[in-house]
Structure 1
């Protein structure tokens, strides 16, 4: 009869940890993943309080996440726990610990005045091989306390939590490396394209200044060259700025689009505006498609349409995310919609995430690119 209980417990553990794994797939921070794990552990064993401590290199806690304690209560409790009491014992030993009443243990040293009263206690390490990623604590499963089966269940949960924490850390590290690589690429482009143009412009301006007193005709020619080089440098700089974007939409679609529009509004004479009443959350692949479609539509409006104003709207209509990029530029005929200006690419991107792309344009009537994506 015991085997079905174990099987049911294993299924419950796998179900509870799925929320932590989901947090990783949504690209949340490590801290947010820790919070999801603590919350899932408390629900799994019906514990009143739960906590997860991440050890540092000094044998203390670098981070301590709690569940069951409000922000006001946590603030009243005081500083994060360090090297003392039962927590220190678990940091030192790194083994599971199950107690009927923590207050009766020799290592118990009391707690701050605002701290909740803990009785029954269960703690297990979260391990990646020999490395302890964190220690998971549960308390107050009254009236019966924690059993040996509970300890086995929480140990199984901790094994899956280790995967979630490791993946979250790898994601954050990869994001940092991506940002560094993107900055390096932009620095090279700025040096290769813009810096050299500006260097030539400076030399030409110096030559014009030297010629001015004795050869006005050549001075005029040199100044014309200065104007041409300045225009080329500005065009190159705008092209680089246009590519500035969050490397992996780390801030979400809404914030990333807002930042991108602000950059373009500063870089171009055209007025570029962003309107969004509330943040719109999509799956990662759908966010990437929406952002790329917005980029392409903005590029067309700014480089080809001669628009005075471009508006970007993002919102939700009938349960679907809707992105619109509208300009008051030259527009184009229906025949031109079939090819050119990256329109085919935008349609293909939309189809890849189950979305629909529509384009409303006519000569001298501006253009509206509309993307609808299931949420």
Structure 2
């Protein structure tokens, strides 16, 4: 969407190039789209567009850039001009405008024209109009995504209830029936068959409970540590939980942290060949340790299972980082939180 909007703006105006930064609440910015940048600015994956101090990003983060403005001197373009004077296509100055919807800000839209140092009131007004449309579109996309997540959560909850009320109950009834039938028969082969049915039914019940937990975190309303303990019981893991200090996560963080711990406990149950684990929870980090057989891992980008890759993505979704160390003496997973 950003690329399409930028292309239409440049091709439908006297601007020759443009680029868009997304900026987070801490002032970190990311170049998300560009169109017809001069070769000097495209070099090394747009190095000159993303490195070094930036007046417009700084002013934006300080709340002092509220409307379309001329940038008198752009230090990044100046550096590119000095290094590659024949490849800048006459671009020396640019105009900038914040992308926002109401009080919510998303980033900056920048445009430039060759051999032009200032932009007219009409050009800045056009920028404001386009920025408003882009900001509104970003807001609508965010709202749509939130609605989709709510609908997905509701559907997961419905599936969890249905599985619990129907399939789980039927499996439990099958287990009880097999147990009763095995106790009443005198035939050894029949008793063995009923015992196998009972054992298989119990395994299926355990798997179903774990699946229900995957769909709907149970016990989170009583706190993260309580939910973790309950899930460890489902997996038949002996879990020790240490909580350091007063901790309060928002709803999204708490659910994401729970999902990361849930996946870690699943891996311990399936692969570590141990029934014990320790979790340390603080406001700064979450540590999950076991004394299992471990595995070889060189970096978070080369994780040995799809589940560990999902954990890494979940950590990044809340601004955190995931560090994994493992040996034959056990595995340690550290979720470093952004706070």
Q: Output the TM-score relative to the length of structure 1.
A: 0.43
Structure having greater relative contact order (Cα 8 Å, sep ≥ 6): 1
- Please identify the structure whose Cα radius of gyration is greater: 1
TM-score by length of 2: 0.47
